[in-house]
Amino acid sequence: MDRRTLLKTGGLAFVGMGLGACGPKTPKAPPMIGTIGRGVRPALDLVPVKASWDRIIHTTVGLRPYRASGFVVKPEKLDEKTLIHNYGHGGGGISLSWGTSYLAAEMALSHRERRAAVLGCGASGLTAARQLQRRGFDVTIYAKSIPPHTTSNMALASFTPTSRVVSTTRRTPEWDEQFRFAAEYAYRELQLLVGRDYGVSWIDSYGTMDEPPPERIQSPRSLLPAHLRIGREILGPGQHPFPLRYATRQRSMRIEPAIYLDALVRDVLLHGGRIKIRTFDTRRDLMALTENVIVNCTGLGSRDLLGDNELTPIKGQLTLLVPQSDVNYKTSGGLDSTSGQFGIGLHMTPRSDGIALGGTAERGVWTMEPNAEARKGIVDGHIALYQSMRPPRHLSAQVM
Ligand SMILES: Cc1cc2nc3c(=O)[nH]c(=O)nc-3n(C[C@H](O)[C@H](O)[C@H](O)COP(=O)(O)OP(=O)(O)OC[C@H]3O[C@@H](n4cnc5c(N)ncnc54)[C@H](O)[C@@H]3O)c2cc1C
């Protein structure tokens, strides 16, 4: 049976189940189902996303600043100035920024001056500014563009510190150590922002698959410390509403970039910081700054500014559907209609600015034009997934 047939029959089977269960108009108590290792509990009800082409509100494109050997956090002498780098976070920059900015700000302390310039106003620049302010620095951010026009605004953005952040063949023990510290620090810092108007929240995340998910093994080479990996549950056939046989569920951290970055801008300004629009073309332009402590958070911009040719874009795009406040879970994996072509792994995250559908990862692609073929795969893949999902019982009751 091919995927389309499976979906169709799976979908019909689920619709049939829903209708059969809803004769009376008042919803019945949910049927009890067995779960793996947890006895019996109510069947899982999730409101499907209303995925359709006429609910699209826009598509965004961003270029992840990827370096095969990972982000750069290190100081450099520039005559009497200290230039501290904090760039190249790939697909994990929102997740890691508080941590790498902590490291950068600690390096700044070795300079005797307490005035600092931060280059860049994305997640890295804003958190670097806050980390410097916490250490008593008077901070000015200089940037070509500010929120909502940074790559950081185009992120999904979940807590994904290991996502496209380094090539496994290029890691060094020193870099791993910086990474682990940064991931751990950032994880804790983001937790402190939950529920405090920063757009950071915890949400259930479901993976869907036809085969039983493999055991997760923590190898000594694993980037992420084991205690940063939240436990997951495995839901078997009939225990979840998705049209594939298995689902995994775990809590994950969601960061809404529009809210988060605006809140950071506000915090920087509230603590006496300034933000100036300015573009730097070469390293020599930095010498014109009056500040002697400079923290470089220019992301992909560091390629031209510093001649770091290792930096390469990994283009990603998100298609947003009309916001749907009754969808309170994320999904990943599943019905990928363009598998393999662009490294697509479908994912959906509900946010207050829309239902964000991804995702693509086009390495070395600089264009900011949405990839129409990828968009079709992503939207059609999600339409197929949610049309085939078993509707929740209270909605099936209304149908009757
Ligand atoms: C589709 C997509 C999904 C993503 N999902 C996630 C996710 O789930 N989780 C996650 O952690 N990350 C995610 N990312 C990655 C994340 O967006 C980046 O890692 C992060 O935004 C990098 O932040 P940054 O501040 O270093 O760079 P940017 O946000 O690009 O900021 C760079 C700043 O430097 C300025 N600048 C650049 N060059 C110059 C110059 N020459 N002169 C002056 N100013 C300059 C820019 O104007 C800007 O202000 C995603 C990215 C994309 C595209």
pLDDT higher at 196 or 169: 169
Does 266 lie in the same domain as 132? Answer: yes
| Nearest residue (CA) to ligand 1, atom 20 | 93
CA angle 358–364–368, rounded 5-degree value: 55
Alpha-carbon gap, residue 220 to 278, rounded angstroms: 44
Domain assignment present for residue 261? The answer is yes
- For residue 217, is it within any domain? no
For residues 315 and 298, membership in a common domain is answered with: no
Q: What is the 182 CA–ligand 1 centroid distance (Å)?
A: 17
The finding on whether 241 has its CB within 6 A of some atom of ligand 1 is no
Q: Which atom, in ligand 1's list, is nearest to the CA of 150?
A: 29
Please determine, for residue 96, whether its predicted confidence score (pLDDT) is greater than 50: yes
Ligand 1 atom 38 nearest Cα:
301
Together in a domain, 268 and 164:
yes
The answer to whether the bond into 157 is cis (omega within 30° of 0) is yes
Q: Which atom of ligand 1 is nearest the CA belonging to 305?
A: 41
Binding site membership of 199 for ligand 1 (Cβ less than 6 Å): no
Mean pLDDT, range 116-138, rounded to an integer: 98
In a domain, 84, yes or no: yes
Residues 346, 357 contacting (CB under 8 angstroms): yes
Cα of 93 to ligand 1 centre, how many Å? 7
Which residues lie across from 214 on neighbouring strands? none
For 121-140, what is the mean pLDDT? 98
Q: Are residues 60 and 93 in the same domain?
A: no
Q: Is residue 269 part of a domain?
A: yes
Q: What's the number of domains the chain is made of?
A: 2
Distance 242 CA to ligand 1 centre (A): 33
Task: Domain of residue 50: give its range.
Answer: 45-67+205-211+229-252+311-400
Looking at residues 217-226, what average pLDDT do you find? 80
Is the shortest distance between the CB of 101 and ligand 1 below 6 Å? no
- Tell me the pLDDT of the chain averaged across its residues: 87
pLDDT of residue 335: 65
Banded model confidence at residue 222, pLDDT cuts 50, 70, 90: confident
In a domain, 74, yes or no: yes
Domain-located, residue 291: yes
Tell me, in angstroms, the distance from the centre of ligand 1 to residue 285's CA.
Answer: 22
Contact 95, 233 (CB under 8 A): no
Same domain, residue pair 87 and 131: yes
Clarify whether residues 236 and 290 are in a common domain. Answer: no
CB 92 within 8 A of CB 99: no
Same domain, 351 and 332: yes
**Both tokens of residue 338?**
């363009």
Asked whether residue 321 is assigned to any structural domain, the reply reads yes
Identify the pLDDT of residue 34.
39
The amino acid occupying position 153 is N
Is residue 185 domain-shared with residue 127, that is, in the same domain?
yes
The answer to which of 101-115, 297-311, 378-392 has the lowest mean pLDDT is: 378-392
Asked if the structure places residue 281 within a domain, the reply is yes
* Cα 192 to Cα 153, 186, 195, 298, 352, distances in angstroms: 21, 10, 8, 26, 20
DSSP 310-378: T-EEEEEEEEEEPP-TT--EEEESS--TTTTTS----EEEEETTEEEEE---EET----S--HHHHHHH
Got the DSSP string for 132-190?
A: HHHTT-EEEEEES--TTSSGGGG---BS-TTTT---GGG--HHHHHHHHHHHHHHHHHH
% of the chain residues with pLDDT over 90: 72
Of 5-14, 126-135, 347-356, 362-371, which range is least confident? Answer: 5-14
**Cβ 153 under 6 angstroms from ligand 1:** no
* Interval between CA 124 and ligand 1 midpoint (Å): 8
Pair 60, 177 in one domain? no
pLDDT at residue 284 tops 80: yes
Query: Residue 214's pLDDT band (boundaries 50, 70, 90)?
Result: confident
**Cα separation, 193 vs 260, whole angstroms:** 9
Instruction: Give the chain's length.
Output: 400
Overall average pLDDT of the 96-104 stretch: 98
Q: What is the CATH number of the domain that holds 52?
A: 3.30.9.10
Residues 59 and 129 in one domain: no
Cβ within 8 Å of residue 290, ≥6 positions away? 115
* 397 in Cβ contact with 25 (< 8 Å): yes
Q: Percentage of residues in the chain with pLDDT exceeding 70?
A: 84
The verdict on 241 and 263 lying in the same domain is no
Residue 166 near residue 183 (C-beta atoms within 8 A): no
Q: CA end-to-end span of the chain, whole Å? A: 32
Distance in Å, CA 264 to ligand 1 centroid: 14
- pLDDT on residue 213: 85
- Tell whether the torsion through CA atoms of 324, 330, 334 and 340 is positive or negative: positive
Q: Nearest C-alpha to atom 21 of ligand 1 is from which residue? A: 152
- Which residue, by CA, sits nearest to atom 53 of ligand 1? 62
Residue with tokens 């793996």, as numbered in its chain: 36
Same domain (yes/no): 289, 333? no
Distance 151 CA to ligand 1 centre (A): 4
